[in-house]
Structure 1
Amino acid sequence: MYLKIHRSGENVIVAVCDKDLIGKTLKEGNLSVTISEEFYKGDLVSEEELRNTLLDAGNVNIFGEKSVSCAIDCGAVDKDCVRFIDGVAHAQVFRI
């Protein structure tokens, strides 16, 4: 799984995706999402590293079955909040 942390001032966004999704474009109806290298391709991390990051993260954008499952397993994402875009699991976390 790829993990990339974006910082802009005090704002932090964590981007996570399954390794095989980099560069893919998902389309469903009028929605089109590209899982770009620029936004998502950071460090390859283990499930343990991902869990530790997700539990401390405020804003997270996650794509892929493995990544989303890891987020559910550690309690960062509620399974009922997972959406599928073009058959790919997607979840977002916003903590205030």
Structure 2
Amino acid sequence: MEDLSDEVYVKIVNVRNEVIIAICDKEILGKKFEDKEKGIKFEVKESFYKGSKMKLEDTLELFEKASILNIVGVKIVEKAVRKGFIKPSGIIWIAGIPHAQLVKVR
């Protein structure tokens, strides 16, 4: 049986020669997080992150295609770290939720 908790939302936007890919864990779409100590507020906006649902295991190919990758959520960020796309030092933690960005310079 398929584990639906391992789904993420993926939105792909092509702008000029760039491929912007935003991915968030399914469970946090539409939620707001605040870290008062760091002075950071973050909203996982549907307008930015909500695209197609995809299995977490199928996202690796998207990491390769992205010129800009914006990811938020424990599952997707852990996967990006395990696969070597994001360094742990590049993660911003907001109220216990990891967020990372990757920009490939050509």
TM over 0.5: yes
Cα deviation for residue 70 of structure 1 reads 1.1
Contact 1:55/1:74, CA 8 A, preserved across alignment: no
State which structure, 1 or 2, has the greater radius of gyration over its C-alpha atoms. Answer: 2
Q: Deviations over 1:24-76 (max 9, x none)?
A: 11112332111011110111112332111112211111100001011112221
RMSD: 1.3
Aligned position for 2:41: 32
Aligned position for 1:20: 27
**TM-score normalised according to structure 2 size:** 0.82
| 1:5 equivalenced with 2:17 (yes/no) | no
Alpha-carbon distance in 1 for matches of 2:56, 2:28? 17
**TM-score normalised according to structure 1 size:** 0.89
**What secondary structure, in the 3-state scheme, does the structure 1 residue paired with 2:59 have?**
helix
How many residues are treated as equivalent by the alignment?
96
Give runs of ≥4 in structure 1 deviating > 4 Å: none
Alignment of 1:8-87 (within 5 A): 8-29=15-36, 30-87=39-96
Q: Where in structure 2 are there 5+ consecutive unaligned residues? A: 1-7
Identity within the alignment, %: 31
